[in-house]
Structure 1
């Protein structure tokens, strides 16, 4: 038996856990294969390695071990650009080496989206085996041109060509890439039995699987069947198993066949008699049905005649009614012309009355004739009954005559028998008379008596011999009877101690029971037919429901296929893979995570849109302010303070506005550097104490312009002279309040023109007003 020496894996595995140029050495220090344990952490690839090794020997997709344990297929382990290799080096008991390997590559180096569905057929597989020959270069495991060793220059086709070149150079090498049977035949030609590895697949199908397998073995026969699953040749065992199963089934049916045979043998004459009786019943039923049909025809004809007569009578009644109406009309005409033509009226009335009576008499005659015809047709039914009775009487007479004809031979035979008996009696009487005469003559002659006695003795001896032979014949008859009885006992017709009469009574009882069973079976057959009819109706309904379900299923299947294609298209989106930070997106199982990630991405995009719109609004506001005032607008907080101050009737400007209007351009940089809060804040004109008195200093909430709650004191303020006024011209009544929440706009541009006339108008008495005070916190 071959033993595994080394296992080589290259360019195969899932993206997060791949095997590249991995060589697992399972030999001892002497280089001989030994029993080894692969010790790795969970998820490091132990099951994958074992699955790939078993898939090399048993390539059937149903035998892939990882499918049973991790729901993973071989197609999951081969990526789009891979030329994957799985190679095993084996050693037989004589030390000869054998290399077996498989090369996997997707058609066109593109893995389809449905690679675990119909697209699985696009995975190209080639299996090869080589006996390493040191004299042939590139035939050992260390010299073969695998993917990582050659930098990807050898794809599947080029590697196949290399193995075929080894075979041309004299190495024992072969490539099989058509069918699994071709691959297994190549292994068997090299004394490598791939069927032995089914055992490893079964045992390693789950963790601790051997316990589960042996848990199902509860008898020696179960253990033998379990053992035969791995050591028996399925191609040879299957026909034998089928033959034995058929033989066992036939042997089990033998008592039934025997009972059926006996039943058929016994029931055959009874069934024949029953068939004859049934034929007689059918014939009588047919005769009865014929009579009923003819009687029904006669009855139907009578009913039709009655309907015709009734129609005629109704027609006569309508005619009478018509004549009555006409008579009434005529009477009215006579009444109208009574005064003018009395005589003519009487004559016309008489004529009309006579005519009407004549017609009435004719109609009455027709009615009487119709009634007579109706009564005649009514008598036809009685006549028909009489004819039927006569026919039955004739039939009975014919039957009696037939019976008499059948009995006449018997009578003749009885008369002949009587004549024969009479002749026999006469012969006997004659014989008796002759014997009497002989005896009388014998009395007279003693010697004749002796002679006769001797003759009778001889006759008696002959008679005794005849009786002996008859006794032997009777013994033979008795022996044959006993043999026949024993045969009946053996066949089970009678018991050993049962008499013929008792057996006949018992069989008659069984016949009666059989008849009852036949009747019961017929009733059961009727019930079964009714159930079959009901089942056929339910089957029709079920088929109709199936058709409806199929009609409903077809559009749903179309929707499912469309959704599947759409999910595959979405899963192939580069942006989605970037959001999920993975190379493979499975919308079938991880759709909730995908929706969460997309919701987060949408929220982030909305946040960025809001920020961009906010920046755009600020830019538009700055452009509008530059167009209107040639100045950048103040911050929103500064505008709120200015609005509230203006609402209170206090003169105030933004620091930038004051800088542009009242500070020379060459001093802007110094002022911005010295007083950034003032420049980016609010400049208030007036006495600060009076200003503070107008605004309550509530510390609980933040003042909102226009809300009536006032303004909070600024977070930071300075108290220093305003630059640019000089020590000889202090400015009064100007106080700068810098309430800032961010660094000042150092990039703001102030116009070069300054209102110098306004500064000249300020007197020296305003020097003390040009200071900024820090209010108490």
Structure 2
């Protein structure tokens, strides 16, 4: 099981509530981890003294209305629940695209710490506008996800979001990014090269939602837990509403949503939807069938009468020739 240790947001957010380069640090205030795994400090970093401690078990973010609480949650959830339909709060499908300016290459990176061993893993999302132009076309919005295990060569602090980085921050919490922002391709190339030089980093790069969900599960981060969090944070007071079951049918629905992979039922839903559409047109189709059958019956009678008339004309013409 993992707990959120740190969050880094870089060059992302709506106008008026943007994150230039911000780190939310929850480390080192919880209980010591029971079975710490051996770790190697980052370059130029002091060796840790004693076992690592778990992150803060809870936290409170005090901001006035419009201060950016929902923005922060939307950005975090965009890493753990990819796809516009999973946007927190029931927002429109294009809300996350509004968090990116034309020249941005935005990053949301989450560092998770294992509750038993203290080992960490970083998962993140990077996004930018293709062609450096804001568009209403979602196909112009490029996004990808990545993961790695921090160690010598790469960490949350040393993410290659810019062309160069300071060895260590001047003051605690200060940005280490220096120089121009890297493009998505430049960032991918940088972490890929780091992964080749330092295999222990276990770098992964994913561009497909379904594959990213599977990869999170392989890392031990269950996206399903975040789906419940998303539903509970859909609006004020939604946490209680999610588990408010009034009858056995509501409980069955809740249980099925919890244990069923929606990908397995999407095909069935499409099939049922197709049958429902046809059943909705049943009266219309039945009337059309009856009309067609009745028309064929009458037309068949007319055709038979026309054939008998032609036969009678033939007989009459033959009789006239003989006389």
The alignment's TM-score, normalised by the length of structure 1, stands at: 0.29
Q: Distance in 2 between matches of 1:163 and 1:182?
A: 19
Residue 220 of structure 2 is aligned to residue 195 of structure 1? no
Residue 250 of structure 2 is aligned to residue 227 of structure 1? no
When the two chains are superposed, the root-mean-square deviation of aligned CA atoms in Å is 2.9
User: What secondary structure is seen at the aligned counterpart in 1 of 2:242?
Assistant: helix
Q: Distance in 2 between matches of 1:222 and 1:208?
A: 19
Unmatched 5+ residue regions in structure 1? 246-285, 302-777
Aligned partner of 1:145 in structure 2 is 160
User: Contact between 1:26 and 1:35, CA under 8 Å: does it hold in 2?
Assistant: no
Residue 121 of structure 2 is aligned to residue 98 of structure 1? yes
Residue 205 of structure 2 is aligned to residue 175 of structure 1? yes
Aligned partner of 1:73 in structure 2 is 95
Alpha-carbon displacement from aligned partner over 1:736-769 (angstroms, at most 9, x marks no partner): xxxxxxxxxxxxxxxxxxxxxxxxxxxxxxxxxx
Residue 150 of structure 2 is aligned to residue 127 of structure 1? no
Alpha-carbon displacement from aligned partner over 1:243-298 (angstroms, at most 9, x marks no partner): xx9xxxxxxxxxxxxxxxxxxxxxxxxxxxxxxxxxxxxxxxx9xx99xx99xx9x
User: Contact between 1:69 and 1:206, CA under 8 Å: does it hold in 2?
Assistant: no
Aligned partner of 1:5 in structure 2 is 5
User: Contact between 2:87 and 2:93, CA under 8 Å: does it hold in 1?
Assistant: no
Aligned partner of 1:165 in structure 2 is 193
Residue 131 of structure 2 is aligned to residue 108 of structure 1? yes
User: What secondary structure is seen at the aligned counterpart in 2 of 1:151?
Assistant: strand
- The correspondence of residues 327-338 of structure 1 with structure 2, limited to 5 A, is none
User: What secondary structure is seen at the aligned counterpart in 2 of 1:3?
Assistant: strand
Aligned partner of 1:89 in structure 2 is 111
Aligned partner of 1:156 in structure 2 is 184
User: What secondary structure is seen at the aligned counterpart in 2 of 1:20?
Assistant: strand
Alpha carbons of structure 1 residues 152 and 77: separation in structure 2 relative to 1, 3 Å:
same
Pairwise CA distance, 1:187: 2.0
Aligned partner of 1:47 in structure 2 is 70
Higher helix share: 1
Q: Distance in 1 between matches of 2:227 and 2:186?
A: 32
Q: Distance in 2 between matches of 1:99 and 1:127?
A: 11
Pairwise CA distance, 1:28: 4.7
Aligned partner of 1:580 in structure 2 is none
Pairwise CA distance, 1:221: 4.0
Alpha carbons of structure 1 residues 227 and 121: separation in structure 2 relative to 1, 3 Å:
same
Aligned partner of 1:15 in structure 2 is 15
Pairwise CA distance, 1:53: 0.8
Pairwise CA distance, 1:72: 5.9
Pairwise CA distance, 1:198: 1.2
Alpha carbons of structure 1 residues 211 and 189: separation in structure 2 relative to 1, 3 Å:
closer
Higher strand share: 2
Pairwise CA distance, 1:151: 2.9
User: Contact between 1:65 and 1:201, CA under 8 Å: does it hold in 2?
Assistant: yes
Q: Distance in 1 between matches of 2:80 and 2:118?
A: 21
User: What secondary structure is seen at the aligned counterpart in 2 of 1:152?
Assistant: strand
Q: Distance in 2 between matches of 1:15 and 1:166?
A: 33
Pairwise CA distance, 1:83: 1.1
Aligned partner of 2:49 in structure 1 is none
Alpha carbons of structure 1 residues 95 and 232: separation in structure 2 relative to 1, 3 Å:
farther
Alpha carbons of structure 1 residues 41 and 65: separation in structure 2 relative to 1, 3 Å:
same
User: What secondary structure is seen at the aligned counterpart in 2 of 1:87?
Assistant: strand
Q: Distance in 2 between matches of 1:125 and 1:72?
A: 13
Alpha-carbon displacement from aligned partner over 1:171-211 (angstroms, at most 9, x marks no partner): 2111112x112222322332222233211111111111123
User: Contact between 2:120 and 2:149, CA under 8 Å: does it hold in 1?
Assistant: yes
Q: Distance in 1 between matches of 2:17 and 2:192?
A: 32
Pairwise CA distance, 1:123: 1.2
User: What secondary structure is seen at the aligned counterpart in 2 of 1:159?
Assistant: helix
User: What secondary structure is seen at the aligned counterpart in 2 of 1:230?
Assistant: helix
User: Contact between 1:196 and 1:230, CA under 8 Å: does it hold in 2?
Assistant: no
Alpha carbons of structure 1 residues 231 and 37: separation in structure 2 relative to 1, 3 Å:
farther
Alpha-carbon displacement from aligned partner over 1:559-587 (angstroms, at most 9, x marks no partner): xxxxxxxxxxxxxxxxxxxxxxxxxxxxx
User: What secondary structure is seen at the aligned counterpart in 1 of 2:147?
Assistant: strand
Aligned partner of 2:279 in structure 1 is none
Q: Distance in 1 between matches of 2:148 and 2:231?
A: 28
User: What secondary structure is seen at the aligned counterpart in 2 of 1:222?
Assistant: helix
User: Contact between 2:160 and 2:191, CA under 8 Å: does it hold in 1?
Assistant: no
Aligned partner of 1:208 in structure 2 is 237
Residue 26 of structure 2 is aligned to residue 26 of structure 1? yes
Pairwise CA distance, 1:219: 1.4
User: What secondary structure is seen at the aligned counterpart in 2 of 1:100?
Assistant: strand
Alpha carbons of structure 1 residues 153 and 49: separation in structure 2 relative to 1, 3 Å:
closer
Q: Distance in 2 between matches of 1:209 and 1:64?
A: 15
* Structure whose alpha-carbon radius of gyration is higher: 1
- The correspondence of residues 268-347 of structure 1 with structure 2, limited to 5 A, is none
Alpha carbons of structure 1 residues 197 and 130: separation in structure 2 relative to 1, 3 Å:
same
Pairwise CA distance, 1:64: 1.1
Q: Distance in 2 between matches of 1:230 and 1:40?
A: 33
Alpha-carbon displacement from aligned partner over 1:372-417 (angstroms, at most 9, x marks no partner): xxxxxxxxxxxxxxxxxxxxxxxxxxxxxxxxxxxxxxxxxxxxxx
How many residues end up aligned between the 2 structures?
237
- The correspondence of residues 334-733 of structure 1 with structure 2, limited to 5 A, is none
User: Contact between 1:105 and 1:123, CA under 8 Å: does it hold in 2?
Assistant: yes
Aligned partner of 2:246 in structure 1 is 218
User: Contact between 1:196 and 1:231, CA under 8 Å: does it hold in 2?
Assistant: no
Alpha carbons of structure 1 residues 142 and 29: separation in structure 2 relative to 1, 3 Å:
same
